[in-house]
Amino acid sequence: MSQNLFDLKDKVAIITGSGRGLGKILAKRLAELGAKIVVCDSLREEANQTAREITARGEIAISTYVDVALRSSCEDLFKFAIAELGSIDVLVNNAGIDIIKPAETIAEDEWKRIIDVNLQGCFNCSQLAAIEMMKQGSGGSIINISSIASVVGIKGLVAYSAAKGGINQLTRVMAVEWASKNIRVNAIAPGYLENIMDGADIEHERSEKQQQIMTFTPMGRRGKLEELVGPVVFLASDASSYVTGTVLFVDGGYTAT
């Protein structure tokens, strides 16, 4: 039994924002462990390319467009996944954007877009996934990608931090509400990664920013995208069958200081 704890064979996994970056890495690694992957992104061609790379290895993946901020787009995503693969077992809410601005200068439309994608998008997909999992009667795992910014004050991240803090609490409440349905809901909160999110590249080019990361991360480096794979696989698999409502910080010790 212990050899099969991390096996994802034939589980259907939707990974939002999987056209590139962390989402792409997760899609490819979960496919290697036997999952059937629904690649989805607002970048249509990038999503298609990720799926092509997976299927070229003989694994199963389909791809589609999604704007997680739009309820109708999320509904189309889940209809597509069910029609093509028949069920939903794992959802990874990875899609996210960032705008780095001081709190006094961020515009209303910028605030709204970050909240709509990062927080509303997480709820849209989680709710739709849970509804399908309840219909199936077999439960499932929902994994939300949060951030150390959900609990640490970081300059310029007022909207992003609000959204990620909301994700942590969404995770806890949904876990409590859906536990009786065998639907587990957890979050992973990464620290600073080598991959830079869209909207953050200029800030992270500053030598002062790099020095701050090195100083406050006890391990003294940024995380590699591959270092998020193990935590996601753990939460997606039977290895975490008694784990729900947790926020797992994968941050090189940043939040421990």
**Side by side, which strands form the sheet with 90-93?**
61-65, 36-41, 12-16, 90-93, 140-145, 183-190, 247-250
Closest CA to 61 of 12, 7, 122: 12
Name 35's bridge partners. none
Kindly report whether the global pTM for this prediction surpasses the value 0.75.
yes
242 catalytic? Reply is: no
pLDDT, tens digit, 9 for 90 and up, residues 186-215: 999 999 998 766 656 555 566 676 788 888
What is the distance between the alpha carbons of residues 54 and 228, in angstroms, rounded to a whole number?
A: 19
Structural domains of the chain in order of their starting residue, each with its CATH number: 8-250 (3.40.50.720)
d(CA 100, CA 140): 35
Q: For 16-39, what is the mean pLDDT?
A: 98
State the catalytic residue, choosing from 65, 160, 192, 242. 160
Name the nearest CA neighbour of 23 among 15, 31, 14. Answer: 15
Q: Backbone dihedral region of 11: left (phi > 0), alpha (psi from -120 to 50 degrees) or beta?
A: beta
- C-alpha closest to that of 254 among 213, 226, 200: 213
pLDDT-wise least confident of 34-38, 127-131, 211-215: 211-215
The rounded distance, in Å, linking the Cα atoms of 76 and 74 is: 5
pLDDT digits (tens, 9 = 90+) for 39-76: 999 999 999 999 999 999 999 999 999 999 999 999 99
> b/e per residue, 219-243, with b = 16+ CB within 10 A?
eeebbebebbbebbbbbbbeebeee
Q: What is the mean pLDDT of the chain?
A: 94
Q: What is the mean pLDDT of residues 159-182?
A: 98
Instruction: Please give the distance of CA 88 from its chain centroid, rounded to a whole number.
Output: 16
- The residue among 56, 61, 58, 68 whose CA lies nearest residue 26 is 61
pLDDT band at 124; cut points 50, 70, 90: very high
* pLDDT for the residue numbered 212: 82
pLDDT of amino acid 214: 87
